Amino acid sequence: MFEVFPEVTLADFKELKVEKLVAQVEEENIDKMIETLRQQRQTWDPVTRQSKTKDRLNIDYTGTMNGEGFAGGSAQGANLVLGSQRMIEGFEKGLTKKKSGDDVVLELVFPEDYQNKDLAGKPVKFEIKINSVSAPVLPELNEEFFAVFGIDEGGLEAFRKEVAANMERELKNASKAKVKSRVMEQLLAQNKVALPNSLVLGEIGSLRQQAMQQFGGGKQSIDPSMLPDELFREQAEKRIALGLILGEVIKSKSLKADPVLVKSTIEDIASTYETPEQVVRWYYSNKDQLATVESSVLEDQAFEAILAEAKVKEKRVSYDDVIKPETAKAAK
């Protein structure tokens, strides 16, 4: 028995209401990004002064509860950056204004909502030995630092332009992704599609395989039966439904992947590599990779066709507002 693909009757796109976030990359955003890049490449210098926030401590510690040790409560030679909030409340504060060689005893209480229920809300004692205190040292903005990012000439000005270009690309992609997300939710709500079970099961299989590779590190060490169908069904149904809806949009509007958009997309991807020309040639010589880009471009064209009819309202916000992940509530 063969399943028949359902006919999809598209709702009026004029009923869609979409908010599009619009922002600019400001000089202060570039400054902040450069500081982040410096922090990612900072080094550590040992100091003899008292410790303070942002210092890195190397410590040995032993935690006990009612005089007994507990799982995960001890470590040797552990690095801890003060202010990182990696440890329970009071731990890092208790290690400020201390020096290398100091012994510290902290009597603390695990939070009531601590993930380990056996420890939640319980008092604990930590005996800590501070092996060393190191201060962060940020790299200078010089030719050596710029070269790490492929900037061999032009100095700070060229570096800032490169950072700005990458941020503009990230901003564009983030804005597009959020618009897509909001459009998808409305498309699924307004266009109810009868889903062929074979397609849903096939998508569930693909999602399960991806999960197995992710959690098993590609070694297939996870028993597939540990990942039941229901774990992936909702996501699979959404993907299939959206695919059928977009397929109907592409068909009804006779859309084909625009070669100009395909080329610009490949060039955009290639611009993040050291040898963009080679990357472009590779995409055009690899049928599978080229087909993937064409499929992505065609999907974008379908969304643009939908947006052309929808009620789109632009909202000017900050760069950070566009870049930050969207909450489930905001996506509705």
Answer whether residue 50 shows pLDDT above 70: yes
- Check if the beta carbon of residue 67 is closer than 8 Å to that of residue 31: no
- Check if the beta carbon of residue 249 is closer than 8 Å to that of residue 306: yes
List the alpha helices (DSSP H) in 41-154.
143-148
Helix (H, G, I), strand (E, B) or coil at 109: strand
Predicted pLDDT at 45 = 97
Q: How far apart are CA 323 and CA 172, in angstroms?
A: 9
Predicted pLDDT at 271 = 84
Q: How far apart are CA 4 and CA 242, in angstroms?
A: 17
Q: How far apart are CA 200 and CA 24, in angstroms?
A: 41
- Check if the beta carbon of residue 313 is closer than 8 Å to that of residue 19: yes
Band of the pLDDT at 160, cuts 50, 70, 90? Answer: very high
CATH fold of the domain at 43-137: Chitinase A; domain 3 (3.10.50)
Predicted pLDDT at 2 = 53
Band of the pLDDT at 328, cuts 50, 70, 90? Answer: very low
The full set of domain ranges for the chain reads: 13-31+148-189+256-331, 43-137
Phi-psi region of 12 (alpha: psi -120 to 50; beta: other; left: phi over 0): beta
Token duo for residue 76: 């040797």
Token duo for residue 162: 């490169």
Average pLDDT over residues 67-80: 93
Band of the pLDDT at 61, cuts 50, 70, 90? Answer: very high
